[in-house]
Amino acid sequence: MSNSYLAAAPVVRRVRGYFAPVNRVTQTPVIFDAAEMGGFGLDSPPSPWIALGWLKGFTRKAVSKTAQIVSGVPAAVLEQTRETVGAEVSFEFLSWTKLTMVLASASQQMNLLLPAGGAAASGDGGAGVAAGVVGTGSTATFISLAPVDAAKFTAGQIVAVDVDYTGQTGYVGTPVSGAYVKSALTDVDYVRRVTVNVARIAQVGATGLTLAEALPGGAPAAGMKAQPVVGFVDREGGSFYQEWSAVFVMEGSQGERIFFHYPRLQALASAAESATALDGKTGTLERVLLAGRFVALPVTDPLDGERVVCYRSFLPAASSLV
């Protein structure tokens, strides 16, 4: 009896997506190593990767252009040369979260701060209630606050945790750059408006907030403040493009895995939605999906200095012949 078999092409269901932040200042992406990390549990990716859930309609397209050098009579291709390197990816997120909304929008994606009493109406949300200083001893799932600040929150609210805006320019936001400030602003809460460092509050105690999920930025740094959030808002327009490192995984029926790793992805299209019927036969209900279209930016592979935009890795099924 043979201890190996010739495997057919992988049979997969949907695609899983994973996110990691790009350091926009240094243009440093997070690199995924399929050899080291390829066996991870799909629900518990290795740090700093964050699961984005299932994706629908995953489509990737190479837009690299190749030119042919022809020679002779009659002319024949002598050799080929790659003129441009590029790739695009498109898919739909099957959940609306802060992170998926950020990634799917080609602009700043902001938090709607809980408005202060009497705040003037604003499309981005009015002036927020005063933020509370995060104390020492905070973790990714617990925010230490003074009792007077903790009392401003209620269980079930969303909290944003980040630093005050103090006139800085450039990229702002933790752990993901949520915006690029070209000239100094006046809103002290601006960084907390654009931060992705948000989480749902499970419990409010006298000493702080217990979170129902970990903050994407991990334990808050010194100087950060916490502010209640009621929702999210983004705009059509603006000049900021989100950028992230991405891994997409297709798991085959025999346990084989195909990875598509894009070290740098930027949103290519404006925020958009697509609707699919829940029951195509008679129903009227529709599921509204966040539609994303992205362009891959290049990195230089330190192995040989080649400029590339995507890595495709394949981990074969156990016992399958290769």
Residues of the shown chain interacting with other proteins in the complex, contacts defined by CB under 8 A: 13-14, 53-54, 94-95, 278-279, 282-285
User: Measured from the CB atom, is 79 or 279 closer to other proteins?
Assistant: 279
User: Measured from the CB atom, is 53 or 86 closer to other proteins?
Assistant: 53
SS3 89: strand
Q: Which two tokens stand for residue 85?
A: 């390197």
The nearest distance, CB 219 to other proteins, in angstroms, is 25
User: Measured from the CB atom, is 184 or 278 closer to other proteins?
Assistant: 278
Q: Which two tokens stand for residue 115?
A: 């408005």
Give the angle subtended at the CA of 192 by the CAs of 23 and 199, to the nearest 5°: 85
The nearest distance, CB 138 to other proteins, in angstroms, is 25
- Angstrom distance (rounded) from CA 89 to CA 87: 7
- Angstrom distance (rounded) from CA 319 to CA 115: 59
Q: Outline where the chain has alpha helix (H).
A: 34-37, 98-104, 147-150, 190-194
SS3 69: strand
User: Measured from the CB atom, is 51 or 317 closer to other proteins?
Assistant: 51
The nearest distance, CB 298 to other proteins, in angstroms, is 32
The nearest distance, CB 53 to other proteins, in angstroms, is 5
The nearest distance, CB 287 to other proteins, in angstroms, is 9
CB 59 within 8 A of CB 89: yes
Q: Outline where 156-270 has alpha helix (H).
A: 190-194
Count of beta carbons in the 10 Å neighbourhood of residue 109: 28
Contacts of 8 (CB under 8 A, 6+ apart): none
The nearest distance, CB 17 to other proteins, in angstroms, is 12
User: Measured from the CB atom, is 37 or 94 closer to other proteins?
Assistant: 94
User: Measured from the CB atom, is 6 or 285 closer to other proteins?
Assistant: 285
- Angstrom distance (rounded) from CA 87 to CA 240: 20
